[in-house]
Amino acid sequence: MAFNSIQYAILFLIAFGGFWLLGERPRLRILFLLAASYVFYASWNPVYLGLIVLSSSLDFVIGGTIHRTNSAMRRKLLLATSLVINLGILCTFKYFNFFAREFTALMGVFDVQVTPWKLEVLLPVGISFYTFQSLSYTIDIYKKELEPAKWFFQYLLFVAFFPQLVAGPIVRAKKLLPQFWHAPRVSNDEGSRAIFLIAFGLVKKVVIADYIGGHLVDPVFSNPQMYSGIETLAASYGYAFQIYADFSAYSDIAIGSAALLGFEIPINFNAPYRATDLRDFWQRWHISLSSWLRDYLYIPMGGSKKGTGRTYFNLMATMVIGGLWHGASLTFVFWGAIHGLALVLTRVIQRLKLTAAIPPRIAKLTGIVLTFHVVCAAWIFFRSPDFETALLMFKTIATGGIGIANMAFPALAVLLAAVCIHQMPENWMEQAKKQFARIPAIVQAALVIGMIIAADKLAQTDVAPFIYFQF
């Protein structure tokens, strides 16, 4: 049940109507939204509904027990239990075949024959996201930064809340849990902004991401040797904006859907390709994941407080693990390693003040251009199905010439539009939201429903699933 489908529109309208009809009865609201969330998740694969119920039930019990326990040893044991269960489930479904395959290949190097094992299961949709979200709950209780959920079903809803269940943003318990008890309030202006976000998200997904992907990115990455260097470079730029438009579209629709139900979900993107260095990039891209990795991985490893060498190691380790979080493939690990190395180099440059003599405007522009191209180079590994394809992409860019016979010019026009939208001044977007808010509410709703119907029709041929659904 994708956001750009008629099924989601129907589910959301039912959830919206029922939620607001329940008004001042928080327990009934929670149960109603939980039922809607489970229907949403079961639409992907009802078999895995039991998995998310089991995982969240265990964390509710463990979190409450940690809170009531004074023994430091027992608290650590309970936290370790939560980590082992959650990460064990995640690793079994997402990484078992990967590690089994790599182990078999490693043994082959030493001429040791190992019968490869393979787990024939589908990856539960959204498992990486809801696992991290649930883990943050038990960890925050362990650190005494959070009170446990008041009610079992409140916690189940926190883990399964359908607008952000499948691909985030990853919301902390301290941010979302209290909102379930508050009486819902949405002003006309807030409602209009929410509808604008949903409409804008649909445009980014269908008009920009899917078109660039289908007419520029996919053909080149499928057969890079058939294209010139310029065409291949354009495809690499195209993927940068395809994945941004696609993922930020999902986040926009998730935030807008939650806002119409009276819930606030933090932003997940902030013009990432305006970043002046890799550190700035990760403060703008997939903000909920980067902050999770910082708070629950980088800082617990020591962060930047245990010396320069340890800081660099922590950065590399965090980003490599972040790469592996995205997918069970060495290309994702390498993507994370590129970002880790770039973050280390950024720290070195800043520590040695190597750019101090460069005029600020030139330094900023140079930083933006260099950062964008490092990110694009890493995206090639992220997008490629294997290292051979990625290396062929780089080889073609370097030696493939400047021919444009196969250039998809309409896709380039859409790519240019995506660049312009991304670079649009923030106050322009605010003005667009204000103008949209002046349209009658019934017309706003009709526009969004019309766009969903159009997207659903296009989905028969052109609209692809959201990219981050696979993670």
Whose tokens are 């990853």? That residue is 170
Dump pLDDT digits (tens) for 259-289: 999 999 999 999 999 999 999 999 999 999 9
339 inside domain: yes
Of 163, 183, 203, the residue at which a domain comes to its end is 183
6 inside domain: no
pLDDT at 454 > cutoff 70: no
pLDDT at 460 > cutoff 70: no
pLDDT in the model for residue 455: 61
Beta carbons within 10 angstroms of residue 52's beta carbon:
25
9 inside domain: no
Calculated CA dihedral for residues 57, 59, 61, 63, nearest 10 degrees: -150
pLDDT at 153 > cutoff 80: yes
Same domain for 122 and 88? yes
Dump pLDDT digits (tens) for 353-392: 888 788 889 999 999 999 999 999 999 999 999 999 999 9
Same domain for 244 and 95? no
Q: What is the DSSP letter of 214?
A: I
Same domain for 193 and 179? no
Residue 443 binned pLDDT confidence (cut-offs 50, 70, 90): confident
| Ramachandran area for residue 381 (φ above 0: left; ψ -120 to 50: alpha; else beta) | alpha
Preceding peptide of 169 cis, ω within 30°: yes
Same domain for 253 and 127? no
Residue 254 binned pLDDT confidence (cut-offs 50, 70, 90): very high
Same domain for 155 and 101? yes
* CA 67 to chain CA mean position, Å: 30
Same domain for 402 and 256? yes
| Domains held by the chain: number | 2
Q: For residue 265, count CB atoms less than 10 angstroms from its CB and return exposed for 0-12, middle for 13-18, buried for 19 or more.
A: buried
386 inside domain: yes
Residue 458 binned pLDDT confidence (cut-offs 50, 70, 90): low
15 inside domain: no
Most distant CA pair in the chain: distance in Å?
A: 72
Dump pLDDT digits (tens) for 128-137: 899 999 999 9
pLDDT at 74 > cutoff 80: yes
326 carries an active-site annotation: yes
Same domain for 213 and 149? no
* Average per-residue pLDDT for the chain: 88
Structural domain for 414, as ranges:
189-470
Residue 234 binned pLDDT confidence (cut-offs 50, 70, 90): very high
Same domain for 202 and 349? yes
16 inside domain: no
Residue 463 binned pLDDT confidence (cut-offs 50, 70, 90): low
Rounded to the nearest 10 degrees, what angle do helices 127-142 and 49-68 cross at?
A: 10
For residue 36, the surrounding DSSP H or E stretch is helix 26-42
4 inside domain: no
Separation of alpha carbons 49 and 336, rounded Å:
31
Same domain for 380 and 406? yes
8 inside domain: no
Of 168, 183, 198, the residue at which a domain comes to its end is 183
298: helix, coil or strand?
Answer: helix
Helix spans in 384-424 (H) = 387-399, 409-423
Reduce the secondary structure of 47-73 to three states and give it as a string.
Answer: HHHHHHHHHHHHHHHHHHHHHHCCCHH
Q: Average the pLDDT over 429-443 and give the result.
A: 78
Separation of alpha carbons 158 and 333, rounded Å:
30
pLDDT at 462 > cutoff 60: no
Of 138, 153, 183, the residue at which a domain comes to its end is 183
Which pTM was predicted? 0.90
Dump pLDDT digits (tens) for 382-414: 999 999 999 999 999 998 788 888 888 888 999
Same domain for 356 and 309? yes
pLDDT in the model for residue 112: 76
Same domain for 194 and 71? no
Tokens of 396: 């073609």
Dump pLDDT digits (tens) for 109-120: 777 777 777 777
Q: Which of 326, 339, 373, 422 is catalytic?
A: 326
Question: Please, what's the b/e burial string for 324-344 (b: 16 or more CB within 10 A of its CB; e: otherwise)?
Answer: bbbbbbbbbbbbbbbbbbbbb
pLDDT at 323 > cutoff 90: yes
Q: Average the pLDDT over 206-232 and give the result.
A: 91
Same domain for 318 and 410? yes
Q: What percent of the chain has pLDDT over 90?
A: 59
